[in-house]
C-alpha cells in the first residue's frame, strides 16, 4: 500500500483524507458529465414539464410553487434515481469490487460520489429556475442562489437514501423500475407538479417525507430571496432524519459484490450427469 494512503488507515490524518476525497470528487464529476444521455435525461425532465405546462396563466404563488416543485423533481431524479442506479450497475459490472480492492478508503469513495451527486442535482435545479425565468416566471437570481440551501440539504438526504436503496436492489435490470416507483409517488404527493387533491391524512403524512420540506423551502426561497430562516426547524429535522436513516441502512447493508446468481436447471442437470 502506498505510504500516503497507508497514513489514512494508521494515524487518521484529516488533510490526507480531504485530499483523497477532493480527488475522488473531481473524478466523479467528470464521470457524471461524460454520461451525456443520463445527464440530459435527469436535467431536461423538469425543464420539459415546465415548457409543456407553462407559467404565464398562473398566480405568482402558483408559479413559485410550480418552479420549486419541478426543481426538486429534477433534484430527486439526479440524487436518488441516477445515483442509486449507478451504484447498482457498478456493483453488477464489478466496478465497485475493483474500487474496494484499491487502497482508497471507502469513506473517501462515498464522500466524493455523494458530493458530486449533490453538485449535479443543484445544477439541475438552477437550470430549471433559469428556464422558468426565460418563460416569464417571476424568479430572480437571488432566489435561485438562496434556493440552493434547502436544495443541498434535500440532495444530501436523497443521495443517502439512494445509497441505501442500492443495497436492497438485486440487479441492474430491476433498479430503474424499483427506483421510479419509489420516488415518483412521493414527489407527486408532495406537490412536485403543483398541489393535488388528497385526503387529509395523506397530506399530513407527506410533511414527513423527504420531498415536501424541500419543495416548500425552495418555493419560499424563490418567493422571498435572502429571508431567514430558509429551512424551518421541522423541515430541517425531517431531512436530517432521512439522511441519518439512509446512511445507517447503507452502512449496515451496502454490498460491494453482486449477488451470486442461482445455477440454472440446465447447468445443474449437466453437473448431476457428470457426477452420476
Dump pLDDT digits (tens) for 143-158.
999 999 999 999 999 9
Q: What digits encode the pLDDT tens for the residues 114-135?
A: 999 999 999 989 989 998 988 8
Q: What digits encode the pLDDT tens for the residues 226-276?
A: 988 899 999 999 999 999 999 999 999 999 988 765 444 444 444 444 444
> Do residues 126 and 72 touch, judged by C-beta distance below 8 A?
no
pLDDT (average), residues 17-41:
83
Task: Enumerate residues 6+ apart whose C-beta is below 8 A from 249.
Answer: 164, 167, 168
Task: Enumerate residues 6+ apart whose C-beta is below 8 A from 242.
Answer: 157, 160, 161, 210
Q: What digits encode the pLDDT tens for the residues 177-194?
A: 999 999 999 999 999 987
Residues 138-177 as b or e (16 or more Cβ within 10 Å = b): ebeeebbebbbebbbbbbbbbbbbbbbbbbebeebeebbe
Number of H-type helices and E-type strands within the chain: 13, 0
Q: What is the model's pLDDT at position 31?
A: 86
Q: What is the model's pLDDT at position 260?
A: 60
Strand partners, 194: 192
Q: What is the model's pLDDT at position 13?
A: 53
Q: Please give the residue range of the domain that contains residue 236.
A: 7-256
> Is position 271 within any domain?
no
SS3 194: strand
Q: Please, what is the average pLDDT of the chain?
A: 85
* Cα–Cα distance measured from residue 153 to residue 151, given in angstroms and rounded to the nearest whole number: 5
Domain count, the chain: 1
> Do residues 176 and 93 touch, judged by C-beta distance below 8 A?
no
Amino acid at each position: 500500500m502506498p505510504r500516503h494512503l497507508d497514513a489514512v488507515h494508521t494515524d487518521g490524518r484529516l488533510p490526507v483524507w480531504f485530499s483523497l476525497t477532493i480527488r475522488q470528487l473531481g473524478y466523479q464529476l467528470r464521470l457524471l458529465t461524460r454520461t451525456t444521455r443520463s445527464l440530459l435525461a435527469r436535467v431536461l425532465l423538469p425543464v420539459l414539464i415546465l415548457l409543456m405546462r407553462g407559467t404565464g396563466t398562473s398566480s405568482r404563488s402558483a408559479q413559485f410553487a410550480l418552479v420549486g416543485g419541478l426543481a426538486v423533481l429534477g433534484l430527486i431524479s439526479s440524487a436518488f434515481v441516477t445515483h442509486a442506479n449507478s451504484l447498482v450497475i457498478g456493483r453488477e459490472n464489478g466496478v465497485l469490487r475493483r474500487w474496494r480492492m484499491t487502497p482508497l478508503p471507502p469513506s473517501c469513495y462515498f464522500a466524493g460520489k455523494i458530493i458530486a451527486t449533490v453538485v449535479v442535482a443543484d445544477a439541475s435545479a438552477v437550470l430549471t429556475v433559469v428556464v422558468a425565468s426565460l418563460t416569464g416566471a417571476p424568479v430572480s437570481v437571488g432566489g435561485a442562489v438562496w434556493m440552493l440551501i434547502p436544495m443541498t440539504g434535500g440532495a444530501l438526504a436523497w443521495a443517502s437514501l439512494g445509497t441505501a436503496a442500492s443495497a436492497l436492489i438485486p440487479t441492474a435490470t430491476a433498479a430503474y423500475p424499483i427506483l421510479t416507483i419509489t420516488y415518483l409517488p412521493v414527489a407527486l404527493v408532495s406537490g412536485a407538479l403543483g398541489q393535488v387533491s388528497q385526503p387529509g391524512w395523506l397530506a399530513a403524512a407527506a410533511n414527513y417525507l423527504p420531498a415536501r420540506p424541500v419543495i416548500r423551502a425552495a418555493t419560499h426561497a424563490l418567493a422571498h430571496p435572502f429571508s431567514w430562516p430558509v429551512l424551518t426547524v421541522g423541515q430541517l429535522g425531517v431531512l436530517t432524519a432521512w439522511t441519518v436513516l439512509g446512511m445507517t441502512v447503507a452502512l449496515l447493508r451496502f454490498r460491494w459484490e453482486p449477488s451470486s446468481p442461482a445455477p440454472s436447471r440446465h447447468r445443474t442437470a449437466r453437473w448431476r450427469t457428470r457426477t452420476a
